[in-house]
Amino acid sequence: MRLLFASPHNYLDQTSGAAISTRESLLALVRAGWDVRVVCGGLCDDPQMKTTGVLQKIAQKDFPCVLRKGSSTVRGQNATWGEYNFKDSGIATSVFITNDMFASSNRALWFASPSSEVFYRRLSKALDAYNPDIFATYGGDQRNALAAETVRNRGASTAFYLHNLEYRKPELFKSFDSVIVPSEFAKRFYKEKLGIETVAIPPLIDETKVLADSNSREFVALVNPALEKGRCFFIGIARELGKIRPEIPFLVVDGRAKAKSICASSEGRALQNLYWLPTTDEPRDFYKRTRVLLVPSLCEESFGRTAVEGALNSIPVLVSNRGALPEVVGDPRAVLPIPKRFEKYSKLIPTPEEVAPWVELIVKLWDDDALARELAASEKASVANFSRKIVEEKTLALFEYLVNQKASEFRNAHSPDEPTPS
């Protein structure tokens, strides 16, 4: 069976949970014998990413790569492009980068530009040449839905990976046979907000990259210090903990947001005992040094990949009461409050009273190994539902159903009428 995934967003982007999750599900299909192809662009979650950064991602994978260059005219404007073709662990991949894809950190400008049409022309050619059994995508551009409608009319199935809670237009999903969300929380959210039915399949986590073979238990860690991930709430926690337990060190791991963003506020610059690690393709690099993991998200999380990874490593994970995080960790002791005044992109620094439950529990876990092991074991049992084996089985079952169901529908719709008796 053949699947083609396409998106202007780069599916090798290690700062994007959506890209990581999508690639892992595609690799699961390859392991099951599917013929999988990708046509993607270079857009990454990191707004500072440039063409060279995307090419470095390709080079780091050590893929033999064939470059094809060209130019196209759209609306009287010339757009040059490069198409990088390689095999990614069995996935036939084309990364298509136009000359202006990184001209601005404002993504909307590129999606409205003539050169974005060049990408979708390339996608149309790939669909014609490959003729997939399933077309899959993510992203809010209406042209994704138009591509889906084209392949549906040919008898193929369509699937949309809906990774976050940001979509507000139900009509975007009318061309898709299945909309895949990462949690039961996200499933309920989209049923209530947009009236659409979805299928909840957790992101597939490659445990070989995540599980550390040892743990020095050095740090209280935060991954991806973005505003919506609780950067400023974290600053408040670290500030208060620094007053009473200055010997406890913090580790901040770059994601889409960088550790240096903490220095944007005077409170952040004043923090002591703060360490930093750059973005890595191997999360076990920082989990092997983490004693307590913090996920103080201000946004309504659609899943909680970092929380699951931490729990798989038997690390006690403390999460906010936002979105799917309570569902993921399972143990209510690990779910801590964040006041409603802290909205998604809040830059407010919390008061000592607001972070007190977090500080108190961190100290208890740091000092009491038995409590830390008990909480970690409880959370690890909860995330067993997200094991690679279980998620792979769900993924394969869904895509096989979509192919078989669509083939049956297409045959029935195009079968000749029964002859009328004379």
397/359 same-domain check: no
Report pTM: 0.89
242/221 same-domain check: yes
Please say whether the beta carbons of 329 and 311 come within 8 A. Answer: yes
Mean pLDDT, residues 8-14: 89
Please say whether the beta carbons of 355 and 236 come within 8 A. Answer: yes
- Which residue did the predictor score with more confidence, 106 or 313? 313
Model confidence at 100: pLDDT above 90: no
Place of tokens 């299945």: 178
Model confidence at 393: pLDDT above 70: yes
Which two tokens mark 43? Answer: 């857009």
| Among 75-79, 128-132, 394-398, the least confident range | 75-79
CATH number of the structural domain spanning residue 31: 3.40.50.2000
State the pLDDT at residue 101. Answer: 83
| Number of CB atoms found within 10 A of residue 69's CB | 8
**Enclosing domain of residue 113:** 2-205+389-408
State the pLDDT at residue 202. Answer: 95
Confidence of residue 412 (pLDDT cuts 50, 70, 90): low
- Which residue did the predictor score with more confidence, 396 or 414? 396
- Which residue did the predictor score with more confidence, 15 or 237? 237
Which two tokens mark 342? Answer: 């802290």
How many domains would you assign to the chain?
A: 2
State the pLDDT at residue 281. Answer: 82
| Among 54-63, 67-76, 344-353, 371-380, the least confident range | 54-63
Mean pLDDT, residues 129-152: 93
348/403 same-domain check: no
| Among 85-89, 210-214, 415-419, the least confident range | 415-419
225/113 same-domain check: no
